[in-house]
Amino acid sequence: MEPVPVDPLLPVRKSLVCDQRLKMKTFILISLGALVFAACDSKQEQARKAELDARADKLDEAAKATEKNAKSNANVVKKEGEAKAEALKEEAKATRDEK
């Protein structure tokens, strides 16, 4: 019978494999914990988001109202300008006719 060869580094290799598995398990658990923590919003966070959404809606409505007001003001100014231009044309025509 032949003697079985003994690997003197066998305990070290087993220890390294075990360490790698332990590191991988630890990494996976930490990653899952981080994902779960990041995915869960607290009630305070949800309330804060709702408040920000409400404020954004109010600002959006105010911006739309301001834009509508600015457009109507622009139309008024445009009509006034056209009326003044027409009056100046008439005045210029009358002045030409006098000469």
pLDDT band at 12 (very low <50, low <70, confident <90, very high): low
Overall domain count for the chain: 2
What's the start-to-end Cα distance of the chain, in Å? Answer: 139
Q: Are residues 46 and 93 in the same domain?
A: yes
pTM over 0.75: no
In this model, does residue 57 exceed pLDDT 90? Answer: yes
Residues spanned by the domain of 32 = 10-40
Question: Residue 4 has what DSSP assignment?
Answer: P
- What pLDDT, on a 0 to 100 scale, did the predictor assign at position 62? 94
Q: Is residue 3 part of a domain?
A: no
Q: Is the pLDDT of residue 45 over 70?
A: yes
